[in-house]
């Protein structure tokens, strides 16, 4: 990653066409004119003394108390002041020092003469110059960067700190103005006017200005104020960019649930917004919903297959959860078939194509006829044999054996 600083035009969100006499004459935004003066003084876009002087005059008419209009004055030293004035100042300082010394000696002598009663507490509200000063709480002290802490000095952004100071000054000035206005006016019972109905175009213009003000607060790292300005802008006119910016401010404040909701609103307006998908995935990862975050990163890769943030995060999540599918995997849907269709009749499958008549009953009838004719023929043959064998000495009938022998 290169360490080349960004141009001031990109930093202050300006165009090259804004460096023009006519644009500066028509501009009514003091902060924008301030940024234009900074760009012209830097000399990044060229040296234009007349345009710079015109921009400074315009800034003086819009914001006469701007810090850019302050001029450095030489320090008051012995060599820069006249001799008489320097002598008078040094004498006044010596006199003040002598009076303070005498006052401290008198106070010390008076405290030593008085009896020290430990049972009586000190009078409330009195000043004890010899009491030990309580050390202030370390948490309330300002964070001062040490001169040898080079890492913090590298991260220190002077423009951001100046922007914070300007915003604090504007806030204080506005509060003083409101308080003075309240004190100067007499209490009155005023009926509230009916609500003014703005047209759609007016709402868009006012919402755009509120969003720009929220962007200024975001650059100054005042994220709560930025969320308030974005919310006011969205109340008037909802845009995907404003939802996206408020989601990023919520992430900076570690309000991940609100950030996910804003990303969903942005995606409802612009389903292919890559920034909203990346911020939603970041918020899901912070809330330990890594599988949902992985799906969101896969959606980003479907829109931008070479997005480096999505590629690195999907690889990281797959190392943490090995059962995750590849980013380009496609899930097949299996549909269940209902019972609405008629059941299959398997009897149709085993039914023969040709039906033949059963011949078994006919065979039985034929067998009966044949058996009867056969018995008749045997009886007739037996009768003929009996007539031929008749003689004078008939044969004795055969002896019948018992049943057991027959068996």
Q: Examine residue 22 and state whether it is found in any structural domain, yes or no.
A: yes
Q: Examine residue 213 and state whether it is found in any structural domain, yes or no.
A: yes
Q: What is the pLDDT of residue 230?
A: 92
Cα angle for residues 237, 240, 242 (degrees, 5° grid): 65
Q: What is the pLDDT of residue 266?
A: 92
The domain boundary residue, chosen from 320, 351, 375: 320
Contact 300, 293 (CB under 8 A): no
- State the residue range of the domain holding 56: 8-66
Q: Examine residue 127 and state whether it is found in any structural domain, yes or no.
A: no
Confidence of residue 279 (pLDDT cuts 50, 70, 90): very high
CA distance 186 to 324: 70
Q: What is the pLDDT of residue 140?
A: 41
The first and second tokens of residue 47, run together, are: 């040296």
Please count the structural domains in the chain.
Answer: 2
Q: Examine residue 350 and state whether it is found in any structural domain, yes or no.
A: no
Reported as half-sphere exposure (CB side, CA atoms, 13 A), residue 203 has a value of 12
Is the confidence at residue 236, as pLDDT, over 80? yes
Contact 283, 259 (CB under 8 A): yes
Would the CA dihedral through 250, 201, 271, 301 be positive or negative?
negative
Q: Examine residue 335 and state whether it is found in any structural domain, yes or no.
A: no
Q: What is the pLDDT of residue 139?
A: 44
The domain boundary residue, chosen from 40, 66, 92: 66
CA distance 237 to 205: 9
- For 295, counting Cβ atoms within 10 Å of its Cβ (0-12 exposed, 13-18 middle, 19+ buried), the class is middle
330 vs 64, 248, 302, 311, CA distance in Å?
Answer: 63, 31, 12, 18
Average pLDDT value over all residues in the chain: 79
Q: Examine residue 390 and state whether it is found in any structural domain, yes or no.
A: no
Domain containing residue 218: CATH number = 1.25.40.10
CA distance 297 to 320: 15
Q: Examine residue 20 and state whether it is found in any structural domain, yes or no.
A: yes
What pTM value is reported for the model? 0.40
Q: Examine residue 358 and state whether it is found in any structural domain, yes or no.
A: no
The domain boundary residue, chosen from 292, 320, 348: 320
Section 360-370 average pLDDT = 81
User: For residue 68, what is the DSSP state?
Assistant: G
The first and second tokens of residue 122, run together, are: 């000190």
Say what angle helices 30-42 and 49-62 make with each other, to 10 degrees: 150
Confidence of residue 101 (pLDDT cuts 50, 70, 90): very high
**319-363: pLDDT as tens digits:** 888 888 877 766 666 666 555 555 666 666 666 666 666 677 788
């Amino acid at each position: 990653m290169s360490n080349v600083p960004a141009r001031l035009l990109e930093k202050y969100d300006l165009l090259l066409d804004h460096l023009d006499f006519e644009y500066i004459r028509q501009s009514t935004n003091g902060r924008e004119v301030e940024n234009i003066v900074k760009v012209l003084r830097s000399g990044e876009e060229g040296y234009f003394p007349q345009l710079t002087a015109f921009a400074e005059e315009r800034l003086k008419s819009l914001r006469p108390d701007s810090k850019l209009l302050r001029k450095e004055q030489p320090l008051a030293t012995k060599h820069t002041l006249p001799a008489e004035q320097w002598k008078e100042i040094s004498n006044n300082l010596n006199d003040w020092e002598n009076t303070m010394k005498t006052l401290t000696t008198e106070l010390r002598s008076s405290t030593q003469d008085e009896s020290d009663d430990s049972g009586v507490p000190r009078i409330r509200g009195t000043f004890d110059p010899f009491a030990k000063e309580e050390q202030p709480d370390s948490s309330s002290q300002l964070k001062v960067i040490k001169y040898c802490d080079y890492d913090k000095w590298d991260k220190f952004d002077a423009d951001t700190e100046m922007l914070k100071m300007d915003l604090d000054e504007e806030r204080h000035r506005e509060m003083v103005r409101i308080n003075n206005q309240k004190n100067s006016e007499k209490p009155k019972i005023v009926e509230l006017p009916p609500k003014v109905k703005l047209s759609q175009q007016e709402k868009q213009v006012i919402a755009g200005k509120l969003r720009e003000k929220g962007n200024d607060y975001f650059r100054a790292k005042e994220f709560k104020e930025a969320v308030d300005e974005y919310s006011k802008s969205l109340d008037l006119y909802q845009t995907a960019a404003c939802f996206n910016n408020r989601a990023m401010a919520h992430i900076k404040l570690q309000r991940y649930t609100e950030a996910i909701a804003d990303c969903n609103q942005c995606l409802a307006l612009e389903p292919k917004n890559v920034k909203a998908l990346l911020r939603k995935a970041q918020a899901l990862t912070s809330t330990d919903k890594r599988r949902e975050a992985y799906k969101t990163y896969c959606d980003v890769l479907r829109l931008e297959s070479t997005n480096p943030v999505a590629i690195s995060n999907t690889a990281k999540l797959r190392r943490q959860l090995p059962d995750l599918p590849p980013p380009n995997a496609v899930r097949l849907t299996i549909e269940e078939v209902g019972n609405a269709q008629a059941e299959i009749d398997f009897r149709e499958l085993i039914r023969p194509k040709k039906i033949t008549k059963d011949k078994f009953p006919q065979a039985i009838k034929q067998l009966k006829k044949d058996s009867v004719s056969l018995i008749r023929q045997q009886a007739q043959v037996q009768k003929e044999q009996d007539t031929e064998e008749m003689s004078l000495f008939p044969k004795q009938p055969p002896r019948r054996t018992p049943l057991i022998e027959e068996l």
